[in-house]
Amino acid sequence: MSKHTIHLVDDESIIHDIFKRIFKADEYDLIISENMSQAKANHSPDIDVVIMDLMIPGTNGIEIFKELKKSDPEIKVIFLTAFGTIESAIEAIKLGALDYVQKPFNNVELEHKIKRVIKEKRTNKENKQLKKTLNERFSFKSIIGRSAALKKTLDIVESVSKSESTVLITGESGTGKELIAKAIYQNSSRKNNPFFSFNSSNIPTTLFESILFGYRKGAFTGADSDKKGIFEEADTGTIFFDEIATLTPETQTKILRVLQEKEIQPLGSNKILKVDVRVIVATNVDLKTKVDSNEFRDDLYYRLNILNIHLPPLRARKEDITLLAEHFLSKFAKENNKDIHGIDQKYMKYLMDYNWPGNIRELENTILRSIILSTSGNLMPETLPEEILNPGQVEMDTGNFYERVDMYKRELILDSLEKNNWVQKSASQSLGIKPTTLSELMKRLNIQR
């Protein structure tokens, strides 16, 4: 890390010597000014902290402070003051100075104050940079693609971001549901408040409610102290629940209460806590089907499904494959120190012809694999996995007779559903089977939009 910079504005040589002894040159850059003109010439917004004497020949510290603040509104100043100028130091605090230290000062106390200010300024700077990076990463312009299907989705996302409503994001695995959730958050009025991402399928049922709602000391064995839950931590912010369909009925009931009443009850507590949290959820299964089979509460479903965003699979936006592949190439070649700048034409044709059941995540992993295996300046077909080079052969060569028949049935049904815009009645007619038969086959073969 770069050295900390201190700007001392004081005309006394003895103070200069003290600062040089305290703030060693190997850790600090010490800039010394003795008057207004030197202070203006030496100051810059990159300086971490200014130590300013109130008594400066020809002017005073407050006037210099006002002048420096014109070019550096976020200037951090600690004043040095003699006993008779404390009132002036208080005036400086009212103008925006951070603190004052009375002469003769304690060296340790002064060093502690300066280090605290430097740490806070660096932390604030890092936080601003992080927010800037998040704004850039999760802006709508950063979501890669030019297909009509993606553009339509992003138009909806942009509108949804401005609301406070619950959002349900649907789509197959690997389509980028969490990326869209973060884009909604980052472009909402809550972007400066907490964001929690929570995968519902990764948490054991026994821990679920204590993680979500918190607990009080003694609520269960091992609860040695109070612990806030995610809902309490995320107050005024946003929670993203991925794989929402995996919630137990008991947890579904409690989340419904949070959405309806905006309140939670930690385990082991008889107190109700009010929370203000926006909820975004995602699923790769048909929640309506789960409702129909009594696996998901219908009242929770309708509470979640106020605003629905469906992410199209990659096979429905193939014109985006080239842009995505080039983006991943640029990203991973740099990360892996590989001098690869192009994609062979045949390689790209394989990408375009493949159906991408794993969607963008599978494409991303494929490009990374090719970069690692590549020995030339372009991505070549021989670095592609076998399922992309020979997709039909791999599928038909896998499994026993019955498994291969199921694979063939699955492909037929998926093809018919895609051609009929997932209208099951039309798809069943084109396949020459009853709608009820198609519905049963879809359940057995785990075919979901």
329: alpha, beta or left? (left if phi > 0; alpha if psi -120 to 50): alpha
* Assigned CATH class of 314-393: mainly alpha
- Is residue 320 within 8 A of residue 314, CB to CB? The reply is yes
Residue 343, pLDDT above cutoff 90: yes
Smallest CA-to-CA distance from 325 within 306, 302, 350 is with 350
pLDDT digits (tens, 9 = 90+) for 250-266: 889 989 999 999 999 88
- Mean pLDDT, rounded, for 20-37: 90
pLDDT digits (tens, 9 = 90+) for 199-221: 877 677 667 788 888 888 888 87
404 or 224, greater pLDDT: 224
84 or 398, greater pLDDT: 84
pLDDT band for 401, please (50, 70, 90 cuts). low
The angle subtended at Cα 362 by Cα 360 and Cα 366, nearest 5°, is 115
36 or 85, greater pLDDT: 36
CB within 8 A of 218, min separation 6: which ones? 268
Residues of the chain with CATH 3.40.50.2300: 4-132
- Mean pLDDT, rounded, for 4-30: 90
pLDDT digits (tens, 9 = 90+) for 328-341: 999 899 989 999 98
**Burial (Cβ within 10 Å: 0-12, 13-18, ≥19) of residue 346:** exposed
Residues of the chain with CATH 3.40.50.300: 142-310
pLDDT digits (tens, 9 = 90+) for 286-333: 898 899 989 999 999 999 999 999 998 998 899 999 999 999 999 899
For every residue of the chain, which 3-state class applies, written as one string? CCCEEEEEECCCHHHHHHHHHHCCCCCEEEEEECCHHHHHHHCCCCCCEEEEECEECCEEHHHHHHHHHHHCCCCCEEEEECHHHHHHHHHHHHHCCCEEEECCCCHHHHHHHHHHHHHHHHHHHHHHHHHHHHHHHCCHHHCCCCCHHHHHHHHHHHHHHCCCCCEEEECCCCCCHHHHHHHHHHCCCCCCCCEEEEEHHHCCHHHHHHHHHCECCCCCCCCCCCECCHHHHCCCCEEEEECHHHCCHHHHHHHHHHHHHCEECCECCCCCEECCCEEEEEECCCHHHHHHCCCCCHHHHHHHCCEEEECCCHHHCHHHHHHHHHHHHHHHHHHCCCCCCEECHHHHHHHHHCCCCCHHHHHHHHHHHHHHHCCCCEECHHHCCHHHHCHHHHHHCCCCHHHHHHHHHHHHHHHHHHHCCCCHHHHHHHHCCCHHHHHHHHHHCCCCC
d(CA 13, CA 151): 66
Given this model, what pLDDT does residue 131 score? 57
Residue 8, pLDDT above cutoff 90: yes
pLDDT digits (tens, 9 = 90+) for 157-179: 889 998 999 999 999 888 989 88
Express as a percent the part of the chain with pLDDT over 90. Answer: 38
Four-CA torsion 381, 383, 385, 391, nearest 10 degrees: 0
Given this model, what pLDDT does residue 2 score? 67
Superfamily of domain covering 142-310: P-loop containing nucleotide triphosphate hydrolases (3.40.50.300)
pLDDT digits (tens, 9 = 90+) for 38-84: 999 999 988 999 999 988 888 889 999 999 998 888 899 999 887 66
Half-sphere exposure for 294 (CA within 13 Å, toward CB): 0
Express as a percent the part of the chain with pLDDT over 70. Answer: 91
Residue 423, pLDDT above cutoff 70: yes
* Assigned CATH class of 4-132: alpha beta
Lowest mean pLDDT, pick from 35-49, 194-208, 277-291, 421-435: 194-208
Residue carrying structure tokens 């107050």: 235
Looking at CATH, the fold of the domain delimited by 402-444 is given as: Arc Repressor Mutant, subunit A (1.10.10)
Maximum pairwise Cα distance, the chain: 98
Residues of the chain with CATH 1.10.10: 402-444
- Mean pLDDT, rounded, for 100-109: 85
Residue carrying structure tokens 């815009």: 421
d(CA 8, CA 50): 6
d(CA 97, CA 78): 6
Peptide bond into 104 cis (omega under 30): yes
- For CA atoms 256, 259, 264, 267, the dihedral sign is positive
> What value does the mean pLDDT of the chain take?
86
Given this model, what pLDDT does residue 1 score? 46
**Residues counted in the chain:** 449
Lowest mean pLDDT, pick from 261-275, 397-411, 419-433: 397-411
